[in-house]
Amino acid sequence: MIKIYGIPNCDTVRKAVKWLEAQDIKHEFIDYRKNPLAKAEIESWDKAIGWEAFLNKRSTAWKPLEQSVKDTIDRETALSLMLDKVTLIKRPVLVKGKEVFLGFKPEQYQEIFA
């Protein structure tokens, strides 16, 4: 089963879900604001692609963090912050089996589901 994680009011998430529906690809959408992520989930994403890839430093939740935290961010701190403030996670996160993909571009999804 394809899982797509994000928040429903995100334009990119909506585009990704719409694309999956248009291609008739069965998927489960997980709103991680309403359904908090388990530490094991975020750790599996880290193992698949690395926490640096899915830490969203352009998020409004990143800006107010203390500069000392930003300057010394490490894996444990990043994962903890992302569990606490889910908007620090780049969106959407698409999980297909053991593969994890970030963001949405039609060409990218076309390749994933080819």
Confirm if 6 and 13 have CB atoms less than 8 A apart.
yes
Which of 10, 25, 49, 102 is an active site residue?
10
Catalytic (active site) residue 10: yes
Dihedrals phi, psi of 102, to nearest 5 degrees: -115, 150
Residue with tokens 């429903």: 8
- Measured CA to CA, the distance from residue 55 to residue 78 in angstroms comes to 7
Catalytic positions, written as ranges: 10
